[in-house]
Amino acid sequence: MSGSATLERVEKLRQSKILREVQDKDTVAMFEDPLENDMILNMGPQHPATHGVLRVLLRLDGETVVKCIPELGYLHRGFEKIAENSTYHEFIPHTDRLDYISPLSNNVAICMAIEKAAGISVPERAVWIRMLVCELARISSHLLAMGATSMDVGAMTVFLWTFTEREKQYDLFERICGARFTTSYARIGGVANDIADDVMRDIRVWLNQLPERMSEVERLVNRNRIFVDRMAGTGYIPAEKAIALGLTGSTLRGSGVARDLRRDEPYMFYDQVEFDVITRNDGDCYSRYIVRNLEIWESMKICHQCLDKLEAMPRTPVLSDTQPQSVVSRKAEIYTKMEDLINDFMIINFGTMPPKGETYTAIESPKGELGFFIVSDGTGQPWKLKIRSPSSSNLQALKYMAEGSMVSDVVAIIGSIDPVMGEADK
Amino acid sequence: MALSNNDIIQVAKAVAADVSVVEHHGDLTLVVKAADLLDVLYELKDNPRTTFNLLIDITAIDWAKPGERYEVVYFLSSLANAARLRVKVGVHEDALHLPTSVDVWEAANWYERETYDMYGIIFDGHPDLRRFYMPEDFMDEHGTPLYPLRKDFPLMGIPGSLPLPPKD
């Protein structure tokens, strides 16, 4: 086949299926009354309000959305294929690039999944540190969600204010683990390093000034007439529909379903801390926004409790040393002890080897239920590793929420679902 | 009353005789036959004892062996019981067909599209079975569609399988 003919065939195929879907085969061009014409609008993948590279095809009747088709895959990097070809330890940095707004909780999730598959126990102090960084990541993610949603509907200031707080957080992350964005902080069997005393003190200082900043934001938009008019009543989804569409996380709790894995299937030490599961019953963009807003306050509570525990606890090791065949040794020991050097050599070459079997581990990530399904064949590389990404399944509700609403509401709805395309596209 | 694994197995066995049970690290998995699949899924969702009303995910496993090469996995969760369950069904290499579960849970729509995209398993009756991540024309030079998560697909990809847009 000649080159140009192939390209023509490819171009036709590429366009035909999606066009057929959006047109529903019944588009009739009527020119008697120009107002009766349907229009197909291609929103994204390069659109600032789609939070990344989400492409949404909209079929419009005037300003009303008749049909809405989200198209994913513009950021597909094949992480599941990469995982099958790398050791478990090597895959941890890739999880930073999933939900790049809250890499710390992704690191914790993958390490918990590997630990469950391999039966590795984690020292108590490391678990408290993991909880602390998970909640910091949740605050970071929800701050971004609040700011971006507000900016999408026109309130620019909130975005700047929440980003100021996130900037301070990134400075703290840098001091916790050495990286601002791609943290890779958790390790199989613990965390990379303990948190220094002065950093813990500064986390506390930051947490203490956050309520005032939050109140400023809340005073600015939460009862603002323009903001509430844009958000309340748009993107409505009832609880039964939200469950049927497989929503999780804040998006589901905004429809009045109190499902929070931290409470329902407590992992780490979430059963030992006090917090409330926030729900709102309206199921619209505004209630999802409020749920995220109030969850920041709950996360602050959990952070304070974790810091109390960590400060009262002796500085014991934060990496498991009961299973030397599965856990990468600490650097100081590799350089001074022969056994650890051999062990490190074996682990880097062959990896952690969980017994044969299939396990699924999920955590309540800021976006929803983030799960890892590991199929182990007994070797150091997973036979299959499936990422259950909350962003992609939450986006499935976009079609239901957007159809019948105005075209300008679509940006508010995408903002209230809070997808991160790095995670949705894997 | 908490839902025990025995209850789940009983409910499933009431509608399908051929159900085998696998337990690993506390995760319960039911392995069913393709003919019983929809009956079991409907029963697990609608039975008031189990009420698995939230479909978490669907994926497939490529075992790279002749015969029943693929297994499709359904991840179920129950909101009322805070319970989890996986249902697995084998798919033969020569007949890559399964009935769709979109009528049971709407969420299956995208999950099945993703499984089709990555493994080429066709869900009969699916309303819109298109590629999910990969482009529609993802095929080799002979026009055979490519499915990237199959074990025979090379990690580096296949040169020329993703043509760039034409130059002006």
The reply to whether residue A371 touches residue B137, judged by beta carbons under 8 angstroms, is: no
What's the mean pLDDT when you consider all of chain A?
Answer: 86
- Give yes or no for a cis peptide into A45 (omega within 30° of 0): yes
Structure confidence by residue, pLDDT tens digits, B118-158: 998 999 988 888 888 888 888 877 778 889 999 888 888 88
Does some domain include residue B46?
A: yes
Rounded to 5 degrees, what are φ and ψ at A359?
-135, 150
Does some domain include residue B157?
A: no
Residue type (1 letter), A116:
K
Does some domain include residue B130?
A: no
Does some domain include residue B133?
A: no
* Interval A222-236 mean pLDDT: 88
Q: Which residues of B touch A116 (CB under 8 A)?
A: 25
For A188, A381, A423, B6, B122, the CA distances from A80, given in Å and listed in that order, are 19, 12, 12, 33, 20
Task: Please give the tally of structural domains in chain B.
Answer: 1
The residue among A332 and A277 whose pLDDT is bigger is A277
The reply to whether residue B82 touches residue A264, judged by beta carbons under 8 angstroms, is: yes
Q: Residue A307's pLDDT band (boundaries 50, 70, 90)?
A: very high
Does some domain include residue B162?
A: no
The reply to whether residue A6 touches residue B84, judged by beta carbons under 8 angstroms, is: no
**Does the structure show a pLDDT above 60 at A26?**
no
The predicted structure's pLDDT at residue A17? 65
The predicted structure's pLDDT at residue A28? 47
Strands B122-124 and B97-99: parallel
Does some domain include residue B97?
A: yes
B56 → closest Cβ in A11, A369, A425: A369
Alpha carbon B131 to chain centroid distance?
15
Q: Residue A136's pLDDT band (boundaries 50, 70, 90)?
A: very high
**Integer Cα distance of B101 and A317 in angstroms:** 48
Q: Mutate which of B42, B69, B77, B144 to disrupt the A interface (most A C-beta within 10 Å)? A: B77
A155-169, A289-303, B52-66, B140-154: least confident range: B140-154
Secondary element (H or E) of residue A363:
strand A357-365
CATH number at residue B81: 3.30.460.80
CB < 8 Å from A in window 102-131 of B: 105-107, 109-111, 114, 118, 128, 130-131
The predicted structure's pLDDT at residue A18? 67
Q: Residue A14's pLDDT band (boundaries 50, 70, 90)?
A: low
Structure confidence by residue, pLDDT tens digits, B81-97: 888 889 999 998 888 88
Any bridge partners for residue B113, and if so which? none
Closest CA–CA distance from residue A228 to any residue of chain B (Å): 30
Instruction: Please list, in sequence order, all residues whose beta carbon lies within 8 angstroms of the beta carbon of residue B65, skipping any fewer than 6 positions away.
Output: none
The verdict on B75 touching A (C-beta cutoff 8 Å) is: yes
B133 → closest Cβ in A4, A73, A119: A73
Does some domain include residue B93?
A: yes
Tell me the H-state helices in A24-152: 79-84, 88-96, 103-118, 124-152
The reply to whether residue B79 touches residue A259, judged by beta carbons under 8 angstroms, is: yes
Domains within chain A, CATH numbers bracketed: 3-71 (no CATH), 79-119+122-319+354-425 (1.10.645.10)
The reply to whether residue A6 touches residue B132, judged by beta carbons under 8 angstroms, is: no
The verdict on A20 touching B (C-beta cutoff 8 Å) is: no
Residue type (1 letter), A263:
R
Structure confidence by residue, pLDDT tens digits, A64-74: 888 888 888 88
Structure confidence by residue, pLDDT tens digits, A158-178: 989 999 999 999 999 999 988
ipTM score of complex: 0.90
Structure confidence by residue, pLDDT tens digits, A29-64: 444 555 556 778 888 787 777 777 888 888 888 788
Range of the domain at B88: 5-124
3-state secondary structure chain B: CCCCHHHHHHHHHHHCCCCEEEEECCEEEEEECHHHHHHHHHHHHHCCCCCCCEEEEEEEEECCCCCCCEEEEEEEEECCCCEEEEEEEEECCCCCEEECCCCCCCCHHHHHHHHHHHHCCEEECCCCCCCCCCCCCCECCCCCECCCCCCCCCCCCCCCCCCCCCCC
Q: Which residues of B touch A4 (CB under 8 A)?
A: 166
**Does the structure show a pLDDT above 60 at B108?**
yes
Q: Is A67 helix (H, G, I), strand (E, B) or coil?
A: strand
Q: By 3-state DSSP, what share of chain A in percent is helix, strand and coil, each rounded to 5?
A: 55, 10, 35
In contact, B118 and B60? CB cutoff 8 Å: yes
For A140, A297, A358, the CA distances from A375, given in Å and listed in that order, are 32, 37, 4
